Amino acid sequence: MKDVYQIILQPLITEKSTILRESNKYAFVVDRNATKPQIRRAAEELFDIEGDILKIRTMRVRGKPKGKMLRYQRGRKPHWKKAIITLKEGATIQAFDTI
Amino acid sequence: MKVQIERLETTRVRLDIEIPSEDVNAALAETCESLRTQVSIPGFRKGRVPIAILKSRFPEYVNSEAVRYLVAPAYEDAIYNERLNPLTQPTFTPPLDELNVKENEPFTFSATVDIRPNISLPSYDELVTDKNPVNVPREDVDAYITRLQAQSATYEPLDVERQVQANDCVRIDWECLLDGNRIDAESRQDVDIELGVGAIHEKLEQALIGMEIGDTNNVDIDFPADHNVAELAGKSAQYEITLHAITEKQLPALDDEFAKDLGYENYSQLYGLIWNNLVEEETSLHVDKQKAELLEQLIEKIEISIPDLLVDQYVQQTLRNVKQQLANEHRSPEDAGINMETLPDELRRDVIQQTKQSWIFETIAEKEGISVSDDELEYEIRRAAEQQNRDAQKYASLLKSNNRLEDFRGQLQHEKIYQFLINRASAKQSLIIT
């Protein structure tokens, strides 16, 4: 099994994710092949929130094209996977709050 | 805001200032708000970064800005509310860059400044000054009028055939020749001269004695190197004098006619006005003397220690200015007549004297409530403008634009203080026994 640090890669801090925090949702960049159960276990272990996770939604984000056409091929940023973890009411992810 | 004042020395105080937590939070919010518009953080549009994130990303910046935002106004407020007049820039403890602003907590710091010491004024009647009214004797007025009379004297040629004697009056021409060239500015025609009163060069006078009407005589005169006519200084010039007539000096009679010639209505008005003017002159001299005496006594009687730091700062500042000025004009101190070695000591003495005076006057003004109201200021401006033949409005706006208005007010206040002191001081024991 992959290491937890290789499943949850980094917190996703953007305007949108900040708004989501109001409804107790936390956004992360996760491994592209990680599954919801894997993310759930990794999060529980990383942030010490066993049993607090209500649900996890994931989506694959296509990397944006970048640069110019180069020999009929355009470069692009890598695709990645976003996970939004919804916690039960009252639970928090401490690490996230101090960023 | 809570302020506690502690006197450290006679001229130093420490202000302990505590700012309540609401103001601290407001300051932090303000700082973040201004920072927010400047930074761009990935994931956020400009100006949309949450404050929490700013605080965690730029803690030092937020802190130092908030300190700046809080300390200066709080210090100024404290100074203002406690009616302190700081003389130097404050020193903060702990230093500003070591202060920490914490949210929801009151913020405390201390500032140490030099202030004017409390001056205990002597009782005013200990001051002594000459309070005798000024006295202008009739003789002075007479002497003044005699001078006027002499100025409008006329010279009538005498019908005599004799040589010029000492104390005669003569009508002559003279030409000044330098290396054979005529100097127009120094040559005269038909001038009336009274001998024996030093009106002309003594060599010329000597040459005149013994001359007869129509005679011409030549005199060589060596001028000293510092003669006030530059062309002649240090040179030897030849004077050619021609005697036209021996004359008699005729003084006008001191009557209404004489007064009218001088633009007065009659002789008694002339006499009265001259007397008035002399009295006024004498009075202003007398008042100046009184002021000087009183100031000297005040400075002598009042023990004041002036913070060395203050004196040093001033001396250094002035020295820098002087050097800068000289450098701008490309002159060396010697050219400008400044002795760089004694200058610091002179400045030091001056600043001590001036500081003492201004402190004493400030204290008197506070204690006695002497101040200059806007109305008085306006009145005095109008008066000063009239004296200088200027439009009062323009004069006022000129003062305002040069930031001189407050200086003007200060001068008036000093005047008033002097007047107050003169009124309250004891009269000097009069030596004249009547």
What ipTM was estimated for this complex? Answer: 0.77
Cβ distance of A98 and B56 shorter than 8 Å: yes
Map residue B190 onto helix, strand or coil. Answer: strand
Instruction: Render pLDDT for B325-380 as a digit per residue (tens, 0 to 9).
Output: 888 877 777 777 777 777 778 888 888 888 888 888 878 887 777 777 888 888 88
User: Chain A: nearest CA to B109, how far in angstroms?
Assistant: 28
Q: Strands (DSSP E) along B138-235, which ranges?
A: 154-157, 169-178, 181-182, 188-194, 216-222
Q: Which residues of B fall within a CB distance of 8 Å from A15?
A: 43-45, 48
Size of interface A-B (CB pairs under 8 A): 15
Map residue B432 onto helix, strand or coil. Answer: coil
Residue A97 pLDDT class (50, 70, 90 cuts): low
Q: Which residues of A fall within a CB distance of 8 Å from B56?
A: 98-99
Among candidate residues A45, A60, A46, A50, the one with its CA nearest the CA of residue A88: A50
CB B172 within 8 A of CB B193: yes
| Chain centre distance of CA B105 | 52
Residue A83 pLDDT class (50, 70, 90 cuts): very high
Cβ distance of A15 and B53 shorter than 8 Å: no
Q: Which residues of B fall within a CB distance of 8 Å from A98?
A: 56
How far is residue B326's CA from residue B12's CA, in Å, rounded to a whole number? 36
User: Chain A: nearest CA to B101, how far in angstroms?
Assistant: 18
Q: Which residues of B fall within a CB distance of 8 Å from A20?
A: none
Among candidate residues B131, B85, B76, the one with its CA nearest the CA of residue B358: B85
Cβ distance of A17 and B43 shorter than 8 Å: yes
Cβ distance of A17 and B50 shorter than 8 Å: no
Which chain B residue is nearest to residue A98, measuring alpha carbons?
Answer: B56
Q: Which residues of B fall within a CB distance of 8 Å from A18?
A: 50, 53
User: Chain A: nearest CA to B48, how far in angstroms?
Assistant: 7
- Three state DSSP letters for B98-133: HCCCCCCCCEEEEEEEEECCCCCCCCHHHCEECCCC
How far is residue B88's CA from residue B355's CA, in Å, rounded to a whole number? 13
Q: Which residues of A fall within a CB distance of 8 Å from B53?
A: 13, 18, 99
- Contact status of B46 with chain A (Cβ, < 8 Å): no
pLDDT < 70 positions in chain B: 198, 429-434
The pLDDT score that the predictor gives to residue A57 is 95
Cβ distance of A15 and B44 shorter than 8 Å: yes
- Contact status of B48 with chain A (Cβ, < 8 Å): yes
The pLDDT score that the predictor gives to residue B434 is 47
| Neighbouring-strand partners of residue B171 | B192, B245
Instruction: Render pLDDT for B403-414 as a digit per residue (tens, 0 to 9).
Output: 777 788 888 888
Instruction: Choose the closest CB to B48 out of A12, A13, A15.
Output: A15
Test the A interface: residue of B44, B55, B58 with most A CBs within 10 Å: B44
How far is residue B62's CA from residue B31's CA, in Å, rounded to a whole number? 6
| Chain centre distance of CA B317 | 20
The pLDDT score that the predictor gives to residue B184 is 74
Q: Which residues of B fall within a CB distance of 8 Å from A14?
A: 43-44
The pLDDT score that the predictor gives to residue A38 is 93
The pLDDT score that the predictor gives to residue B430 is 54
- Contact status of B50 with chain A (Cβ, < 8 Å): yes
Q: Which residues of B fall within a CB distance of 8 Å from A80?
A: none
The pLDDT score that the predictor gives to residue A1 is 60
Which chain B residue is nearest to residue A11, measuring alpha carbons?
Answer: B43
Residues B58, B64, B69, B71: what is their CA dihedral angle, to the nearest 10 degrees?
Answer: 150
The pLDDT score that the predictor gives to residue B106 is 86
Q: Which H/E stretch holds residue A28?
A: strand A25-30
